[in-house]
Amino acid sequence: MGFSGRPSMACEPCRKLRTKCDFAIPSCTQCVRKGRACTGYRNEQDMLFRNETPLVVRRATRRRTAARGTAGDEVAMSFPIDPQLLATQQPSRIAAIDDEATNHFFAHYNEKFFAPEVQRNGGFDYIQPVYQQDLATGGPVPDIVKAAGLAGLGNVSGSQELIDAARQKQNGVIRKLQHQLQNPRTISSDSTILTCILLGVFENIICDSPQSAQHMSYHLNGAAELAKLRGARQFNHDIGLGIYSRMRGFMLAHCLQTREPLPPFILNYIEDSEISRRDFEPGFYRLLARLCQVRAQHKQQGYVDAKLADEAQLLAVEFGAWAPDIADWERNERPLPAPEPSGHQSTEAYRYIWLATIWIFQLTARILASDIVIEWARSRVTHEPGSPSSAALGDAITAQIELCEELKDSTSFYLRSFRDTQSAMRTVGGYGLLWPLYVLSTASTSTAETMRWIATHSEQIAEGFGVRQGKMMANFMKMYI
C-alpha cells in the first residue's frame, strides 16, 4: 500500500467547486443550500493509502510470464483474476456507504408518531428502538433500513449501482423475515411487523418496476394481518402504538385510492374508546374510515343512490368543519412554516410538514366525497330534468372547483416551502405531495389544463426531492394532455 499524502475528504461537488464542506450527515450544508446531490465523503484510510493491488498483480504476471519463456501451451495463471474484482470497492468504502444509507434513511424517511400521551414536539421515534434491538439480535430491521437508504441515495444520485445494491439487500431481508414468520415467538413482534411496513416503504422509494406498487400493497396487507394477529396488546406501549399507527395510515391511503373497504379489525380499533384516548384526533380517523366505506360501497354497487349521496354530502361538511385540537392550527387557515433554526435537523420543520399533510388530507377528503355528490346530481339531471336538479349539479360542481383550486394553491405553496427548508425531513413532505396530485387527476371537474399542471408539478417533485414516482406520474399525465 503506497502512502498518498493527505487529500481532501470533502464531498465531490465541494471539491470540484472548491467550496468549504462542513461534513454534515447525511448531506453537507453547501449541497443542501445549492440544491445539488451530495455524494458523501471519502474514507480517510482509503485516501491515505492507495490500493496498489492491480499494479502488484500486473508485475507478478509479467515476471511469471518471463520466467516461463515463450511456451504457448502453458497457462499464464492457474486462477486468472477478474478485472471487475480488482475494481471492487474496498471494505472500508462499502461500510461507509452502508453507514451513509442508514443515516440517509433516518434523516429523510423516518416519519414520527404524534399522540396526546406521547408529548414530544417533534414526534415519537418508534423505529430507532426496534432498530437498536435488531442490531443486537441480528433481526431484519437494520438491513431494510439500509436497503431503503440505498434506494433513496440511488434516486438522488441517479446511480443504478446503488439501486441494484438496495434490491439485493432487500432480498436478504425477505429471507430473515421468513425465518421470523416461522417462529411463534417472533411472528407478531415489533421487528416483524415493522419490517413488513418498511418493505412497503422500500418499494415506494425504489419504484424500479411497474410491480413495485403491487409489492408495496402485498407487504402492507401482510403487516395488517400481523397487527390483527397481535391484537390489542400492541397498544400497551408507545412503540407498538407507533408501528400500528404507521400501518393504519398506509392502509387508509391505500383503501381510499383503491376504493377497497378497511379491514374490520382496524374499524373496531378506530371505534374503541380506550384506544382512541391515546390516539391523535380519533375523530379524524373515524371520518376517513367512513369515507373509505362510502367509496368501497360505490365501487361494489357501481352507482350512487340517495343514501350514498347523503352520506358523502355529510362527510364533505364534517371534514370541512373538522379542526384538530392543537395550538398551531387555525380553522380555515393554511399552516405556515415556523422560523427554522440554524441546525441541519429541525423537529419544528418536521412538525410543520406534519401539519401541512393534515391540511392537504382534509382538502383531498372533501374532494373525494364531492365526486360522489356530483355523480348523484348528474344522474338526477338525467332522470329528473329541471331547474332544481340543474341547480344542485351546478352547486356541487362549483364547490368542487373551489376545493380543487385551493388544493392546487396549497400544493404549489408547500412544494416551494418544503423544497426551501434546510431540514432533511423535507423528503417526507415531497412524497406527501404526490397524494393531492393523484386526487386532482381523478376529480370530476379536472380539465386538460389541470393535467398539464399535475405533470409540471410531478416533475418538480421528482427533481426537487429525488422521488421516482413523480417522474412516472408526469409521464403518465402527458399521455392524456
Determine the Cα–Cα distance for residues 191 and 67; give it in Å rounded to an integer. 59
First to last CA, the chain: 59
Query: Which CATH number goes with the domain that contains 31?
Result: 4.10.240
Which residue reads 414536539 in cell numbers?
121
Let me know: does 444 contact 429? Beta carbons within 8 Å.
no
Residues 174, 96 share a domain: yes
Residue where a domain terminates, one of 238, 273, 302: 302
190-206 vs 238-258: helix crossing angle, rounded to 10:
40
Question: Strand 2-3 and strand 49-50: pairing?
Answer: antiparallel
Count helices and strands in the chain by DSSP H and E runs: 22, 2
**The pLDDT value given to residue 447:** 94
- Domain contains 307: no
Residues 247, 176 share a domain: yes
- Domain contains 86: no
Residues 252, 145 share a domain: yes
Question: What are the distances in angstroms from CA 122 to CA 115, 338, 348?
Answer: 11, 13, 6
Helix (H), strand (E) at residue 161: helix 160-181
**The pLDDT value given to residue 115:** 62
Residues 331-343 pLDDT 10s: 888 988 765 544 4
**The pLDDT value given to residue 149:** 95
- Please say whether the dihedral angle defined by the alpha carbons of residues 102, 472, 434 and 197, taken in this order, is positive or negative: negative
Residues 96, 60 share a domain: no
Helix (H), strand (E) at residue 49: strand 49-50
Tally of domains in the chain: 3
Residues 46, 104 share a domain: no
Residues in the chain with pLDDT values less than 70: 1-7, 9, 23-27, 32, 35, 39-95, 115-122, 338-349, 422-424
**The pLDDT value given to residue 34:** 73
Residues 65, 133 share a domain: no
Neighbours of 86 (CB within 10 A): 12
In this structure, what C-alpha cell is assigned to residue 51? 490500493
Residues 95, 65 share a domain: no
Residues 240, 168 share a domain: yes
Give the domain range for residue 298. 91-302
Determine the Cα–Cα distance for residues 324 and 334; give it in Å rounded to an integer. 13
**The pLDDT value given to residue 210:** 77
Determine the Cα–Cα distance for residues 359 and 335; give it in Å rounded to an integer. 7
Could you give the angle at the alpha carbon of 35 between the alpha carbons of 433 and 148, nearest 5°? 60
Query: Which CATH number goes with the domain that contains 356?
Result: 1.20.58
- Domain contains 393: yes
